[in-house]
Amino acid sequence: MNKRLKPLFWGGRYYHLIKLRQCNEYVIDKYMKGNNFLLLDFGCGECPYKPIIVPHVKEYIGADITLNEHAQLLINPETGHIDVGDNHFDTLLSTQVLEHVISPTNYLREAHRVLKKDGLLVLSTHGYWMYHPDPTDFWRWTRDGLEKIIRDEGFEIVETLGIFNRFTSGLQLMQDALIHKLPNGPKQVWNSIFAVLQLIFDNGRLNNRDASVYMVVAKKK
């Protein structure tokens, strides 16, 4: 089952993943629908958002540092390069990858190279979040810092979304701080309590300034 698209209520990431899905749906609706574009999922993992994106693109290509059933293209783990010419893709999707790469600058530079002019970068990464290596975990961002490094690599920011306000982000960190000390049964109860608290205290917005996850839509200049 695709746990990112359909998270379990007691799974520990329920409300966060629901909001991340909403963000993806908002971006698909606003920027991808009807465009019939060639899309690269750059650091695709298991391509969790592919089922909701595929109806709107001509072709969906996954790339990762190890080839798996979802990745057709290999990212060279040393250089970060993929074997594709310049100006190739219309859209580049990057969900929860940037915090894991050694050099965000190199990663964004390669994203810029393979995108066509005016091509769209749709990138999400973490603000306030616990350490979670995959296989490494290097970076966290503020909204301003994230927009700056993306702009510095030749993109124009179109829109930035922010999931979870400061309060809901704090609840997520508090939940994660204790969860590893609990056995399974109480763990699910604890997660469910925090999911309810997040539902109550989240302000429902998708554009918070202090956020757990930022999603930036940017255009290659």
Residue ranges that bind ligand SAM, judged by CB under 6 A: 4, 43-45, 48, 64-65, 75, 80, 95-97, 100-101, 107, 134
Question: Residue 18 or residue 44: which is nearer to ligand SAM going by CB?
Answer: 44
Which are the contacts of 27, defined by CB distance < 8 A and separation ≥ 6? Answer: 122, 161, 215, 217
**Nearest distance from residue 102's CB to ligand SAM, in Å?**
6
Question: Residue 47 or residue 171: which is nearer to ligand SAM going by CB?
Answer: 47
**Nearest distance from residue 130's CB to ligand SAM, in Å?**
13
Phi, psi of 62 (to 5 degrees): -100, 145
Buried b (16+ CB within 10 A) or exposed e, 185-205: eebbebbbebbebbeeebeee
Question: Residue 62 or residue 119: which is nearer to ligand SAM going by CB?
Answer: 62
Question: Residue 111 or residue 195: which is nearer to ligand SAM going by CB?
Answer: 111
**Nearest distance from residue 157's CB to ligand SAM, in Å?**
21
Question: Residue 80 or residue 119: which is nearer to ligand SAM going by CB?
Answer: 80
**Nearest distance from residue 133's CB to ligand SAM, in Å?**
9
Q: Are 65 and 75 in contact (CB under 8 A)?
A: yes
Residue 30 DSSP code: I
Tell the residue number behind the tokens 């893709």, with chain if given: 89
At 196 the three-state DSSP class reads helix
Q: Which residue is nearest to ligand SAM (CB)?
A: 45
Tokens encoding 54: 């595929």
**Nearest distance from residue 10's CB to ligand SAM, in Å?**
20
The sheet that has 115-126: what strands, in order across it? 73-74, 57-64, 37-42, 89-95, 115-126, 213-220, 155-163
